[in-house]
Amino acid sequence: RVLELTGCAASMVASSRSYADFTPEATFDIKKVDLHRLEEGPPLTATLTREEGLKYYRTMQTIRRMELKADQLYKQKIIRGFCHLYDGQEACAVGIEGGITLSDHLITAYRAHGYTLTRGGTVREIMAELTGRRGGIAKGKGGSMHMYTKNFYGGNGIVGAQVPLGAGVALACKYLGNDQLCVSLYGDGAANQGQIFETYNMSSLWKLPIIFICENNQYGMGTSVERSSASTEYYKRGDYIPGLRVDGMDVLCVREATKFAADHCRSGKGPILMELQTYRYHGHSMSDPGVSYRTREEIQEVRSKSDPISMLKDRMLSNNMASIEELKEIDIAVRKEIEDAAQFATTDPEPPLDDLCSHIFANDQPFEVRAATPWTKLTSTS
Amino acid sequence: LNENHFLSCLVEFSKTSPAAVQVNVRDALNQAMDEELERDEKVFLLGEEVAQYDGAYKVSRGLWKKYGDKRIIDTPITEMGFAGIAVGAAFAGLRPICEFMTWNFSMQAIDQVINSAAKTYYMSAGAQPVPIVFRGPNGSSAGVAAQHSQCFAAWYGHCPGLKVVSPWNSEDARGLLKAAIRDNNPVVFLENELMYGVPFDLSEEVMHKDFVLPIGKAKVERQGTHITLVSHSRCVGFCLDAAAVLAKEGVECEVVNLRTIRPLDVETIEASVMKTGHLVTVEGGWPQYGVGAEICARIMEGPAFNYLDAPAVRVTGVDIPMPYAKILEDHSVPQIKDIIFTVKKVLNM
């Protein structure tokens, strides 16, 4: 597969080691999870196959490079408006997806590019959405915060609103009896929103199959958790809802906790809450350098000691699950994929003006839309 | 029967004299919901007291007994949360009816109505439809004072992505609620508490289980030649009462029942104004930036302006928070005498 991706003759030599040379599967110790109202938690070890490892590595690397490319394009003013980057938090999106399936549902807030990818979007259509082109995943109508795929409900701009929406999706799962669940994500900043507590209440009353996940990256915009929250034990904030506090920088920890949470939901026990302790390297958004409320040393320390991609890479290399060359080839392939996507995103045309008024209503006849002046006639189609 | 065929039959049937049954607005709404719950399993109702209490205003009476906990859901008093849950359920393919006990309480949840429901189909470029109905009593009631008396037609009518409906009588209530529930888009359904108990004759055709009214189409309730009165909800009745009084003085009013606030059926209003040359709008809501203001602006900008023999004028609620004392409350809302007075002013009588 690596050969197909790169077609590079040199790599044929490096990859002449057959799969039989690599360890097909290894078991790793993972950090113990803090529990709230739970007698038992996820296992203390996780088994990773070579195939899974390569998949997680590639996906995390893709998210990383895609976000860094978005940073570049934003600074060149090719991306405009809001752009909230996910680099540093890759293990969350990838680990969560490892614990559920694409038939399950997921909703998050505005730091959503990574999830759009793990939920089935392509880099090409994500980047073209950021640059506002017709090939974007929302045809240029949504932008950074409003990307959707099957069973992925965005991308939501209003802090906290996505949490009751996710519970509604979970209600539909229970109503339809399809054994699916909904993962509903929010940050440490959103965790204090009243509507989240309203949602905890209704989800518990009605035993909805929802996994609440708080991605605690230590800062709500520029406000550290100590300055925003009387209690920073976000995994306990659901009170009567069982909770787990998980190392969000370790993709295996996230995966095992998600599997555990999914089992809990699917067994009809109702909601469960996971706090993922993670970190974002970028500031809140592209208009935030991210250093007025935290130190560069702190950022550097996380990068050197806890980077999710490095952690997985070290595990795989030290257990002979992959070679350095092989991982380098994946890096090259990812870079190429990102470059191609960026190329597309910068050359694809903007949406046609005919699209201005479309998609107001579903399944309706075309109708006239008021333009900026009374003399211009605009039409909306479904 | 498909709906287009049905509506064309309806035009013919209304010319005969069909068997009529008396149904009040509350029961019309109740029956509409009952029929739609039976027709489509994905339809469900949630809100405060909708189930075991039979509805705060008894609009959902009997539904919980018939359909049970799964489809008629009592919520805690958490509008923002349950409105969000309703929208999420619509995202995932169900067809929720989300009741606000009154539309005043919708302000707690307005972000979910506007940002999560109304805008999503557009933001997703058509990937994510939102088939939801938000319903409840709107506007002034009797003696419920300022926090419970606001009309939200203008607020919600302002927003693209929403359909906003305001029925007057039982036929409106029945046909528009069924249409709203069958619509694949977010519909804000503004009822009126004081109309709930008012009975109207409904024909056999209207009582058919597939009877729907088109959203976005106004109805001329009374033909006239001298002046056009445009109104919605309870005020339509006041316009008809005023028209009856004015007819004795030889003034024939044409009364247009908007039925839908958004999209506004400006063509029907224009056709009427082009016939009568005079326009008065009548609403219960506040004047500034209201429904009447929009109608007047549109008439100014369109072909009907050239037919106006006098400026278009609005009759509205008084621009104050609603007082409690009866005498004050009575003087805070448009009365029949205000409509008559305004018609005479506009006609220079």
Q: Give the integer Cα–Cα distance in Å for A245 and A365.
A: 50
Identity of the residue in A172, A355, A361 whose CB atom sits nearest the CB atom of B89: A172
- For residue B134, give how far its alpha carbon lies from the nearest alpha carbon of chain A (Å): 15
What is the structure's pLDDT at A203?
A: 98
Q: Do B84 and A163 touch (CB under 8 A)?
A: yes
Residue B125 zone, left/alpha/beta (φ > 0; ψ -120 to 50; rest): left
Identify the residue among A198, A203, A356 best suited for mutation to test binding to B, counting B beta carbons within 10 A and taking the highest: A198
Q: Which of B234, B287, B282, B290 is nearest to B254 (CA)?
A: B282
Helix (H, G, I), strand (E, B) or coil at A287: coil
Non-local CB neighbours of A260 within 8 Å, separated by 6+ positions: A41, A42, A99, A244
Question: Exposed/middle/buried for A248, CB within 10 Å: 0-12, 13-18, 19+?
Answer: buried
B199 touches chain A (CB under 8 A): no
* DSSP-H helix ranges across A188-294: 194-205, 225-228, 251-266
Question: Any idea which residues of B carry the catalytic annotation?
Answer: 79, 148
- Residue from the list A140, A142, A164 with its beta carbon closest to the beta carbon of B81: A164
Whether the predicted pLDDT of A6 surpasses 90: no
DSSP-assigned states of every residue in A210-224 = EEEEEEE-SEETTEE
Task: Using CA coordinates, name the residue in chain B closest to A143.
Answer: B123
> Looking at beta carbons, which residues of chain A come within 8 Å of B78?
195, 198, 201-202
- The minimal CB distance from B94 to the residues A140, A161, A172 is found for A172
* Residues 6 or more apart whose Cβ sits within 8 Å of residue B316: B282, B283, B284, B285, B286, B287, B290, B292, B334
pLDDT beyond 80 at A278? yes
Asked if A256 and A244 touch (Cβ cutoff 8 Å), the reply is no
The chain A residue lying nearest B70, using CA atoms, is A175
Strands B95-99 and B133-137: parallel
Distances, alpha carbon B271 to alpha carbons A376, B11, B213, B254, in Å: 21, 20, 20, 11
User: Residue A28 pairs with which residues in a beta bridge?
Assistant: A46
**Using CB atoms and an 8 Å cut-off, which of residues 278-337 of chain B contact chain A?**
301-302
Q: Which residues of B touch A238 (CB under 8 A)?
A: none
Q: Do B85 and A202 touch (CB under 8 A)?
A: yes
Report whether B174 contacts B203 (CB < 8 A).
Answer: no
Q: Is A252 helix (H, G, I), strand (E, B) or coil?
A: helix
Q: What is the pLDDT of residue B194?
A: 98
The label of the residue with tokens 């399809």 reads A178
Q: Would the pLDDT of A57 be above 80?
A: yes
pLDDT (tens digit per residue) in A137-177: 999 999 999 999 999 999 999 999 999 999 999 999 999 99
- pLDDT above 90 covers a percentage of chain A that reads 94
pLDDT tens-place string over residues A9-43: 444 444 455 666 899 999 999 999 999 999 999 99
Going by C-alpha positions, the residue among A42, A18, A15, A40 that lies closest to residue A30 is: A42
Q: How far is CA A348 from the centre of its chain?
A: 25
| DSSP3 helix / strand / coil % (chain A, rounded to 5) | 45, 15, 40
Query: What are the tokens at A301?
Result: 């320390």
In chain A, what residues touch B125 (CB-CB under 8 Å)? 138-142, 355, 358-359
- C-alpha to C-alpha distance for A45 and A252, rounded to whole angstroms: 9
Average pLDDT over residues A115-124: 98
Q: What is residue A91's predicted lDDT score, i.e. its pLDDT?
A: 98
The answer to whether A209 contacts chain B (CB < 8 Å) is no
| Residue with the two structure tokens 């082009």 | B274
Q: Does A173 touch chain B (CB under 8 A)?
A: yes
- Chain A: closest CA distance from residue B60 (Å): 20
Pair of tokens at residue A321 = 């699950």
B-contacting residues of A 318-357, CB under 8 Å? 355
Tokens of A269: 């026990």
B14/A contact by beta carbon, under 8 A: no
Helix (H, G, I), strand (E, B) or coil at B129: coil
* Probe site for chain A from B79, B91, B97, B264 (most A CB atoms < 10 A): B91
Question: Which amino acid is it at B186?
Answer: P
CB–CB contact A175 B84 (8 Å): no
CA angle A96, A98, A99 (to 5 degrees): 70
The CA–CA distances, whole Å, from A181 to A211, B103, B239 equal 8, 32, 52
Residues 71-130 of A with CB under 8 A from B: 105, 107
Which H or E run contains B292?
Answer: helix B291-301
Q: Under a CB-based contact definition with an 8 Å cutoff, are residues A228 and A188 in contact?
A: yes
What pLDDT, on a 0 to 100 scale, did the predictor assign at position B103? 98
The answer to whether B157 and B190 have CB atoms below 8 angstroms apart is no
| Residue A274, min C-alpha distance to chain B (Å) | 20
Is B339 exposed, middle or buried (CB count within 10 Å of its CB: 0-12, 13-18, 19+)?
buried
Instruction: Give the up-direction half-sphere exposure of residue B138: CA atoms within 13 A in the CB hemisphere.
Output: 28
pLDDT per residue rounded down to tens, chain B (349 residues): 455 555 554 444 444 456 789 999 999 999 999 999 999 999 999 999 999 999 999 999 999 999 999 999 999 999 999 999 999 999 999 999 999 999 999 999 999 999 999 999 999 999 999 999 999 999 999 999 999 999 999 999 999 999 999 999 999 999 999 999 999 999 999 999 999 999 999 999 999 999 999 999 999 999 999 999 999 999 999 999 999 999 999 999 999 999 999 999 999 999 999 999 999 999 999 999 999 999 999 999 999 999 999 999 999 999 999 999 999 999 999 999 999 999 999 999 9
Task: With 0.80 as the threshold, say if the pTM is over it.
Answer: yes
Residues of A in contact with B91 (CB under 8 A): 153, 165, 168-169, 172
Tell me which residue in A153, A360, A374 faces B122 most closely, judged by beta carbons: A360
CA distance B348 to chain A (A): 31
pLDDT at B250: 98
CA distance B221 to A196: 47
pLDDT of residue A21: 85
ipTM attached to this prediction: 0.93
Tens of pLDDT, residue by residue over A208-228, are: 999 999 999 999 999 999 999
Question: Do B125 and A139 lie within an 8 Å CB cutoff?
Answer: yes
B336 phi/psi in degrees, rounded to 5: -60, -40
- Does A134 contact chain B (CB < 8 Å)? no
B4 in contact with A, Cβ within 8 Å: no
**Amino acid at site B263:** P
Please name the residue of chain A whose CA is at the shortest distance from the CA of residue B125.
A138
- The pLDDT score that the predictor gives to residue B19 is 73
3-class state of residue B58 by DSSP: coil
Please judge whether A172 and B88 are an interchain contact, meaning their C-beta atoms are less than 8 angstroms apart.
yes
> DSSP strand E in chain B: where?
20-24, 43-47, 72-74, 95-99, 133-137, 163-165, 187-191, 199-203, 219-222, 227-231, 253-257, 260-262, 279-282, 313-315
> Rounded to whole angstroms, how far apart are CA atoms B23 and B197?
9
Give the integer Cα–Cα distance in Å for A198 and A205: 11
Pick the residue from chain A with its C-alpha nearest to B186. Answer: A361
Chains A, B: CB pairs < 8 Å = 152
Task: Flag whether residue B107 sits within 8 Å of chain A, measured between CB atoms.
Answer: no
What whole-number distance in Å separates Cα of residue A241 and Cα of residue A253? 20
Residue B3: its pLDDT value, please? 53
- How far is A192 from A190, CA to CA, in rounded Å? 5
CA distance B122 to chain A (A): 5
Whether A20 contacts chain B with CB within 8 A: no
Contacting B residues, span 208-267, partner chain A, CB-CB under 8 Å = 216, 263
Can you list the pairs that A47-53 forms with residues at least 24 positions away whose Cβ atoms lie under 8 Å? A48/A252, A48/A315, A48/A316, A48/A321, A49/A24, A49/A25, A50/A19, A50/A22, A50/A23, A50/A24, A50/A25, A50/A316, A50/A321, A50/A322, A52/A98, A53/A312, A53/A315, A53/A316, A53/A321, A53/A322
Ramachandran angles phi, psi of B99, nearest 5°:
-95, 130
CB-count exposure of residue B289 (10 Å: 0-12, 13-18, 19+)? exposed
Q: Which residues contact B84 (CB under 8 A, 6 or more apart)?
A: A161, A163, A164, A165, A167, A168, A195, A199, B109, B112, B116
CB contact under 8 A, B302 and A360: no
The pair of structure tokens assigned to B297 is 């602006």
Q: Rounded to whole angstroms, how far apart are CA atoms A150 and A142?
A: 16
* Predicted local confidence at residue B97, as pLDDT: 98
